[in-house]
Amino acid sequence: MITEGEKYNIRTFYDLGINTDNIDKLRNMYITKPTKIQEQAIPLILKGKDIIGKAQTGTGKTLAFVLPLIQMLDENISTPQVLILTPTRELALQITTVVEELLKDSAFDVVSVYGGHDVEKQKNQLKNNAQFVVGTPGRILDHIREGSINFKNLKHVVIDEADQMMAFGFMEDLDLLFDKTPEKMQKMIFSATIPDMIRKLARKIMNNAINIDIDPESVVIDNIRQVVVRTTEERRLQSLEMALKEFKPFMAMIFCKSKERANELYDNMVNLRYDVEILHGDFSQNKRENIMKRFRELKFPFLVTTDISARGMDIDGITHVFNYDIPRQIEYYIHRVGRTGRAGEKGIAVSFVSDKEVEQMKKIQKTVGISIPEVYDRSPDERKRMNIETLLEGKVKTKEVRYRKTTKSKPSLVNARKSGKKRTNPRKGSAK
């Protein structure tokens, strides 16, 4: 068994065997340094080994298997070569987003296959010869039975979040699925825990699997204070306004769950005269780099962004992180809050949670091992000062706001807003 405590000299993706094209794509995603699970898993996967990877959410498991598998694709094969199995459609979509980013400008394609989505549309997508298939076991089986998916050239299978697969009752589906796929395949299992039932499955389907065990690390930094603002979808923007007024952030990142959501929020903040920019995966590399340079130089205080474009982003001085949407994957929450509280500085992470997001927020708290204080946003006729900071143990004093205007502004506007000048939209003409 390979354990986290062993010493490794590997420090870069190039050392791991990742080619320069994919390293460039990682750099465009602001990812420059591999995590521990990536250090250990990538070389083994590239060698064709079956592996069982035990690592907590937030350790970079997705890239640990996606990166080498993309590099192992055969250009002469048009049918699916890689199958990634997930317990939920939300996770399937998240992984698909990562794969899409890495497959840009390549001859390969990816398709998501899961329940609750138009079956005929999925069939049409599968006919386009996607080499990557990401989906839930039940829906994958449906397509196998209907003959709408061709796995004759399938070479690699990943079971992601295997313990959740077991908890959701997918073990029988997995057994059936492996009976209907080629026997000679590279097989990988990734999970936060490896229960006996998962080990039994591994013994049945794998050949001399190598175990990778990454010890859980603390994902909550002591100097990051976290708070939940309970709100509604209709009042989410207003809740963000109230929080910005309360905290007066010096430098903040605002995370959204999708490009569309980020565009919507950005437009709303521009209309409300905030000094804000936007960054997501549709922007060209030059545009991304320019926006990041200006953000580091404190040309604007607020950056609206998505998870995929903010991964691995290292910027000193970020005082606040706002989760406008709760992420579908817990690891993204950890990545988000880790953008603040750097270099010994204190930071604050504020999450806006609707009733539909409460359960996901509970899962996040359970994973990170803390209870996050809550404050309820009020309806307009009941509105009171949020007093968020009074919920936090010890007030976190932020730096003096450099963007304060000398002219009078409306009381409802945060000090960091512009004073009425209409902004140009950086999204126009920036997409690939």
Most confident of 150-154, 263-267, 355-359, 373-377: 263-267
Section 122-134 average pLDDT: 82
The per-residue pLDDT for 55 is 84
In whole angstroms, what separates CA 156 from the centre of its chain?
23
Q: What tokens does 261 get?
A: 């959501």
The per-residue pLDDT for 354 is 93
The per-residue pLDDT for 311 is 57
Least confident segment among 30-34, 36-40, 381-385: 381-385
pLDDT tier at 58, thresholds 50, 70, 90: low
pLDDT tens-digit profile of 251-291?
A: 999 999 988 999 999 999 999 999 999 998 788 767 877 88
Rounded-to-5 percentages of helix, strand, coil across the chain: 40, 15, 45
In the 8-state DSSP scheme, what is residue 365? H
Per the DSSP assignment, residues forming a β-bridge with 2 are 212
pLDDT tier at 314, thresholds 50, 70, 90: low
pLDDT tens-digit profile of 61-77?
A: 899 999 999 999 999 99
pLDDT above 70 (res 222): no
**Is-contact 419 405, C-beta < 8 A?**
yes
Percentage, residues of the chain above pLDDT 70: 79
The per-residue pLDDT for 33 is 84
Residue of higher predicted confidence among 315 and 80: 80
Section 317-327 average pLDDT: 93
pLDDT above 50 (res 144): yes
Domain 2-213 fold is: Rossmann fold (3.40.50)
pTM beyond 0.75, yes or no: no
Give the number of other CB atoms < 10 A from CB of residue 229.
23
The per-residue pLDDT for 382 is 44
Residue of higher predicted confidence among 293 and 30: 293
- The Cα 162–Cα 174 span in angstroms is 10
Could you tell me which of 221, 229, 265 has the C-alpha nearest to residue 247?
Answer: 229
In the 8-state DSSP scheme, what is residue 218? -
What would the CATH number be for the domain defined by 224-391?
3.40.50.300
| Mean pLDDT over the full length of the chain | 80
Please, where are the H alpha helices in 169-235? 171-179, 196-205
Residues of the chain with CATH 3.40.50.300: 2-213, 224-391
Three-class SS of residue 259? helix
pLDDT tens-digit profile of 160-202?
A: 989 888 878 888 899 899 988 888 899 999 988 888 889 999 9
The per-residue pLDDT for 407 is 33
pLDDT tier at 393, thresholds 50, 70, 90: very low
The per-residue pLDDT for 209 is 94
**Is-contact 323 349, C-beta < 8 A?**
yes
Could you tell me which of 294, 282, 283 has the C-alpha nearest to residue 251?
Answer: 294
